[in-house]
Amino acid sequence: MMHLNLLRHGETELGGGLRGSLDDALTAKGWEQMRAAVLEKGPWDRLVSSPLQRCARFAEELGERLGLPVQLDKDLQELHFGAWEGQSAAALMETDAQALGMFWADPYGFTPPEGEPVIAFSARVLAAVERLHHAYAGERVLLISHGGVMRLLLAQARGLPREQLLNVEVGHGALFSLRVKANATLSEEV
C-alpha cells in the first residue's frame, strides 16, 4: 500500500476557468494557499508533481526545504480542454451552452471541441498512479497536481458514478489523503 496525499495548486495569474494545459504561474495568494496546506503535514518520502509550473515550482520549493526528491510526471497534468482552454464556464455559457451542459452532465460521454476525452485522461492518470504504487509501495507520497486529476482520483476512491465526476469539490490549495493498493485501487483516508 502507498499513502498518497493530493495537493491542488493554488490560485493562478490568469484566474479561474478551464486552465487545462495552459502553463500560467501562481499568484502570491496561490503560493500562500499551498504553503498553508502543507504546514505541519507529512512527513513524506517523496514529492511527485505535474510538470506545469503552477504545480512544479511549488514542488521544487518544498522539495528543497524538506530535502526530498521531486519527480515530474506529465501523465499527471490536467485534462486538455481543447478549444475551451482558458475560458470560464460563464463565457462558455454564452458561446457554447449546450455543449458545456453536455460536458457537465456526462464528462465521460462528451469531449470538449478538440479536447482530450475524459476516458483517455482517466486511463492516463490511473496508469501514472499505478506506476507510483509499483515504485513506491510502503511510502508516503505527496502528489501536487490539478483539480481534474484530484476529482478523478477522489471520485474513484469514493466509488462515485462517472456522471458525478465534476461534482467533487476541490478548492485551490486543497489537500486530501488516499490509500493506493494494487491496480490503482483507491480509498480515502479521513
> In this structure, what CATH number is given to the domain that contains residue 36?
3.40.50.1240
Distance CA 95, CA 89 (A): 10
Q: Which of the four pLDDT bands, split at 50, 70 and 90, describes residue 65?
A: very high
* SS3 call for 8: strand
What average pLDDT does the segment 43-63 reach? Answer: 98
Q: Which residues of 27-36 are buried (b: 16+ CB within 10 A; e: fewer)?
A: beebbebbee
Q: Which among 13, 52, 69 has a CA at the least distance from the CA of 145?
A: 52
**What does the DSSP 8-state code read for residue 154?**
H
Give pLDDT, residue 102: 96
Give pLDDT, residue 73: 98
pTM for the model:
0.96
Residue 98 CA from chain centroid, whole number: 26
What average pLDDT does the segment 91-109 reach? Answer: 96
> How many other CB atoms sit within 10 Å of the CB of residue 73?
17
- pLDDT tens digit string along 1-34? 999 999 999 999 987 789 999 999 999 999 999 9
Domain count, the chain: 1
Specify which residues 137 forms β-bridges with: none
Distance CA 85, CA 56 (A): 20
Its domain, for residue 84, covers 2-189
